[in-house]
Amino acid sequence: MKKQLFYVLLIFCFTSYNLCSGQNLSLVIIGETKAATKVIDSLNYAKQFKDFNTLDLEVKSVKSKLINGGYIDSKIEKLKKTADSLYTAHIYIGEKIDTIRVFFKNKFNSKLLKFSEVEISTHYFDVSINNLQKTLNQLNKRIAEQGDPFSTLQLKNIRKSSSKLIEADLFIKTNQKRRIDKIIVKGYEKFPKSFIKRFLKLKKGQSFNLEEIKSKTSELQNLRFAKESKPPEVLFTSDSTSLYLYAEKTRSNNFDGYLGFGTNENTGRLNFDGYVDLRLINNLNYGESLRLFYKSDEIDQQTFDVNLDAPYLFGSPIGLELGLKIFRKDSTFSTTRQQAKLNYQINPNNRLSAGLGSSVSSDLLNSNSILIDDYNSSFYQIGYNYIKPQYYDPLFPINFWFDVNANFGNRAQNSVETQQNAFSLEAYKIFNLNTRNSFFIRLTGATLNSDNYLDNELYRFGGINSIRGFEENSLVANLFGVLNTEYRYRLSNSIYVHSVIDAAYFENDITQSKTKLFGFGFGLGLLTKAGLFRLNYSSGKTENIPFKLSDSKIHVSLTSTF
């Protein structure tokens, strides 16, 4: 019997424990007045709890929130159980104080608070209670930006100086200022060191500031040959700070070519022309680029152009650019141009250049013509280049390009020197209207100023990379300007179609002609595994002359990245 009674009592206790432990506790907090209670209710404190300990912590949390909100006299007067599962807390909040005056020591740099919403005096600053936490966070962040990421702030001796003002003393615990001791690149270990120092503006010994570092490393996305794979990380030891950058090498070499065909106006036969454009970028892991260009067109003209650009020589902001261009027109003349320039990289987007250029042209027919003759010319060159990339877009990787050059020199012909000046401009911009629609506009132009001109020194333009609808390099001028426009519509991330509306104006002082040209057509682009395939159909006309479909041009090209 005793044994059965023991089991009954055990079951009763176990059941009672489960009922009690499963019962929720409720909390109501009351202020000294109805207005005080309303203030407390605005904190949206928790009202249901599983046990008394969490309920007690919530009451203390409400008190802390009231003090942080300016009710510095807040105190818990009592907490009692008023029903089976109901607890009532009485909190006295007093009058709210809106402003706190924080005193600091003489060594404190008050300029760190310049951009905060505070009133700064010689030994203290006043800040509203509501903005106190934000201000202290900003202050701590700026101290960290000075190279002390482990600094801590604390307000001590908090006191009520009057019914409207609280006072406190600011204590700053500083550590040894951190500077970057090592910069380590992971993922692309052969990343050009000169680009770390000059392009990213990161170097050993500079003050550590993680936010600034993240902002700088984001510029990796604006490099054609590399990109950031993940945000930078830092390893702190007792005596060193190591910065880890994460980058990966991207495919940046380009091979571009096209095949064009059209009807010859004189013979009525179908003529073919084409070109090869090879760009090798960062193959030696120095950030260098090499361009090799060859073009042969339908009017027996050949162009060979090679250009080498080596930036940040010996880790300096100075780069070297070398160029050689050979142009030959059938058996009439050939012209060789050479240039050497030093480039100064102001920042990743802006570059200045200065250098020397020379040209040598030969009359292959020895015709002793006044229009074509042997000559030598030399020029001093200055230039400026701006680029804004969008390499995240494989179809249109450059958003804005601006390049202007000025040349000052003279031409020597039959021992007679003639002073000459030449200016050139190329600029284009993509206006992204939305994810599918964009508008492209490009302006190119050049002028040669001289007392007299030779045909073999004039500019030659026209074709797919100039005014479309005309034969390659068929237009000759001492002054020209070309406006290209395209409305582009993306059918998908890899296909787009576009319009072709071009206009040009040129002058040729030898023939005493001034001409306006127009080109109209359409095209499409297709991003394939082999590269970017482009097709353009365009027809050109001169002013006051109607279009002829027989003069239309079809251009096909494929730009392969490897």
- The confidence band for 122, taking pLDDT boundaries of 50, 70 and 90, is confident
Residue 10 is predicted with a pLDDT of 46
For 393, residues 6+ apart whose C-beta sits below 8 A from its C-beta are none
pLDDT band at 160 (very low <50, low <70, confident <90, very high): confident
Rounded Cα–Cα distance for residues 145 and 130 (Å): 24
Residue 33's contacts (CB-CB under 8 Å, 6 or more residues apart) are: none
Band of pLDDT at residue 121, cut at 50, 70 and 90 = confident
Tell me, what's the pLDDT at 87? 92
Strand segments (E) across 123-269: 124-128, 152-162, 165-173, 182-186, 226-236, 241-249, 254-263
- Higher local confidence (pLDDT), 265 or 136: 136
**199-203, 328-332, 406-410: segment of lowest average pLDDT:** 328-332
How far apart (Å, rounded) are the C-alpha atoms in residues 261 and 272?
4
Best CA proximity match to 380, nearest among 408, 345, 352: 408
100 vs 133: CA distance, rounded Å:
11
Q: What is the mean pLDDT of residues 135-148?
A: 80
The Cα–Cα gap between 548 and 32 comes to 94
Q: How far apart are CA 272 and CA 258, in angstroms?
A: 10
Q: How far apart are CA 101 and CA 119, in angstroms?
A: 9
Asked if 302 and 219 sit in the same domain, the reply is no
Tally of domains in the chain:
4
On whether both 31 and 134 belong to a single domain, the answer is no
Mean pLDDT of the chain: 87
In a domain, 331, yes or no: yes
Instruction: Determine the length of the chain.
Output: 562
| pLDDT category of residue 266 using cuts at 50, 70 and 90 | low
Mean pLDDT, range 58-75, rounded to an integer: 88
| pLDDT exceeds 50 at position 15 | no
CB-based burial label for 109 (10 Å; 0-12, 13-18, 19+): exposed
Same structural domain, 116 and 32:
no
Summarised one tens digit per residue, pLDDT across range 439-473 is 999 999 999 999 999 999 999 999 888 999 888 88
State residue 95's pLDDT score.
Answer: 86
> Nearest-CA neighbor of 362 among 339, 338, 340, 331?
331
Q: Is the pLDDT higher at 17 or at 121?
A: 121
Res. 8: pLDDT tops 50: no
Distance CA(491)–CA(497), nearest Å, equals 7
Check residue 3 and give its pLDDT.
52
Is it the case that residue 4 has pLDDT exceeding 90? no
Residue with structure tokens 């309920």? 55
List beta partners, residue 370: none
Whether the pLDDT of residue 105 is over 90: the answer is no
Sheet architecture: strand order including 48-49 = 48-49, 25-30, 86-92, 75-81
Same domain, 315 and 349: yes
Asked if 261 and 271 touch (Cβ cutoff 8 Å), the reply is: yes
**Same domain? 142 vs 38:** no
CATH number at residue 346: 2.40.160.50
Residue 271's pLDDT is 59
Indicate whether 142 and 260 sit together in one domain.
no
Is residue 408 scored above 80 in pLDDT?
A: yes
88/109 same-domain check: no
Looking at the fold, whether 214 and 309 belong to one and the same domain comes out as no
Q: Are residues 139 and 190 in the same domain?
A: no
Tell me which of 173, 207, 239 is where a domain ends: 173
Inform me whether the pLDDT recorded for 18 exceeds 60: no
Give dist(CA 236, CA 213) in Å, integer.
15
Q: Which domain holds residue 145?
A: 99-173
Q: What is the DSSP string of 59-93?
A: HHHHHHHHHHTT-TT-EEEEEEE-SSSEEEEEEE-
Which residues touch 562 (CB under 8 Å, ≥6 apart)?
A: 251, 253, 254, 255
User: Could you tell me which residue, 304 or 111, shows the higher pLDDT?
Assistant: 304
Whether the pLDDT of residue 67 is over 90: the answer is: no
- The secondary structure element, H or E, covering residue 534 is strand 532-542
Q: 298 and 392 in one domain?
A: yes
Distance of alpha carbon 212 from alpha carbon 472, whole angstroms: 49
Residue 379 has pLDDT above 90, yes or no: yes
Residue that finishes a domain, picked among 249, 270, 305: 249
The strand pair at 241-249 and 182-186 is best described as: parallel
Contacts of 280 (CB under 8 A, 6+ apart): 253, 289, 290, 291, 292
Say which CATH number the domain at 118 has: 3.10.20
Residue 325 has pLDDT above 90, yes or no: yes
pTM: 0.74
Evaluate whether residue 58 is within a structural domain. yes
Q: What pLDDT, on a 0 to 100 scale, did the predictor assign at position 72? A: 82
Residue 552 contacts by C-beta under 8 Å, 6 or more apart in sequence?
262, 469, 521, 537, 538, 539
pLDDT at 19 over 60: no
Same domain, 166 and 225: no
Residue 21 has pLDDT above 70, yes or no: no
pLDDT value for 111: 75
Q: pLDDT digit string (tens) for 509-558?
A: 999 999 999 999 999 999 988 888 989 999 988 887 777 766 788 888 88
Exposure string over 75-101, b if 16+ CB within 10 A, otherwise e: eeeebeeeeeeebebbbbbbeebeebb
pLDDT over 50 (residue 299): yes
* 435 and 486 fall within a common domain: yes
Residue where one domain finishes, among candidates 49, 71, 92: 92
**Structure token digits, residue 73:** 């006299």
